[in-house]
Amino acid sequence: MQTEASGWQRFSTTSIPRGERLAFWQESANELFPSTIVTGSPEEDFFGSVSWMQFGEVVLADFVSTAMEVSRAEEHIARNDAWYEVCLQVEGDCELTQGGRTVTVRPREMVLYDSQQPYRMVFKGPYRQIALKLPRRLLQDRVPCLDTLIVRQISGQSLPGRFLFDFIITMCEVKGESARDSLISRLESHVVDLLATALSEIAQDQPLSANRQAQLARVKAHILAHLDEPSLCPAEIARSQSISLRSLYELFEGEDLQVSKWIKAQRLERIRKDLGDSLLSSWPITTIALRRGFKDFSHFSRAFRAQYGISPRAYRKSRLS
């Protein structure tokens, strides 16, 4: 690990033996950001480098890496992981999945995600991404209906997005320059204010009111809590929330997936993680699928292939071999 006079620190895999680089990267990255599992492409020699600094309670990290997948599961989430994270894509693409939404973040785009929810990031090739980690309360006091903005792209070409993106890029480009402590201490408020402005801009485009967004959040929480129950269906959900079936469907009108498809996507994601879990390697795939709420294995197998482009058996083999 290297430390520079300007307050930036850096580590990379350059001097790490090839067979140890991915493990080194995961351990080091998890000291900066909430815990995740990192999977690198076995066909290439993994490389990763990050420079970071902390100002106030905000961490800014500039990542450069070869292709990888980063996933955060339920078991990684601790009660004190009260962070929001923002990624600013500089080079390459990032496919981010959280809360039933999947977006592709391209260069000069940004996205907010939540450390208290599972997520998956897929980088299919080399990339550069700048990440911000900040306490939830720093944004919650500034942006109404903040949880409705999770996994919504922010364009770095729009006026508020450009201010934030260019300011962060400039900070990263002057790593070698020393800054007075008085300046560093003011960066936190500048960055948080710029981010809040950019988020408030896209908040105006959200279709649901604050009350309905809160209701949608309660519905999703109920679904996730009962996801493994085969009886879970829209009618049961509506009864549990004391709303009509029509109102339930209306809550999901602004989402990428309607309620039934959202349930299926969440089940498939849990099964995907189970199939990659070495502790469950002796469990039949049928048992795992039925345990996660599917009633019919053939239906599950078709849905899994449609979602991930690979059969459940082949996926398990690729993860456990």
Give the pLDDT confidence score for residue 66 in this predicted structure. Answer: 94
Entry pTM: 0.66
Last residue of a domain, one of 155, 187, 203: 203
Query: In terms of domains, do 193 and 266 share one?
Result: no
Q: Report how many domains make up the chain.
A: 2
Please give the pLDDT value at position 56. 85
| Per-residue confidence (pLDDT) for residue 24, from 0 to 100 | 92
Residue 161 and residue 200 in contact, taking contact as beta carbons nearer than 8 Å: no
Angle at which helices 312-320 and 297-308 cross, to 10°: 60
Residues 157 and 301 in one domain: no
Q: Which residues contact 287 (CB under 8 A, 6 or more apart)?
A: none
Q: Considering 148, 178, 203, which residue would you say is the last residue of a domain? A: 203
The residue count for the chain: 321
pLDDT in 10s for each residue of the chain, 321 residues = 555 545 789 999 999 998 899 989 989 988 888 888 898 866 668 999 999 999 888 999 999 999 999 998 878 887 677 889 999 999 999 999 998 789 999 999 999 999 888 899 999 999 999 999 998 888 876 776 677 788 999 999 888 899 999 999 999 987 766 555 556 667 888 899 999 888 887 766 655 556 677 788 888 889 988 999 999 999 999 999 888 898 899 888 877 789 999 999 999 989 998 998 888 999 999 999 999 999 999 999 999 999 888 899 998 988 887
Q: What is the Cα–Cα distance from 90 to 111, expressed in whole angstroms?
A: 12
| Domain co-membership, 192 together with 235 | no
Q: Do residue 24 and residue 134 come from a single domain? A: yes
Amino acid occupying residue 44: E
Sign of torsion over alpha carbons 272, 279, 282, 224:
negative
Domain extent at residue 251 = 210-320
pLDDT at position 146 = 77
| pLDDT confidence of residue 176 | 60
Q: What are residue 143's phi and psi, to 5 degrees?
A: -125, 120
On whether both 81 and 182 belong to a single domain, the answer is: yes
Same domain for 52 and 182, yes or no, is: yes
Q: For position 301, what pLDDT does the model report?
A: 94
Residue 85: closest CA among 138, 38, 47: 138
What's the order of all strands across the beta sheet hosting 2-3? 2-3, 9-12, 48-55, 58-65, 127-135, 83-91, 109-114, 154-155
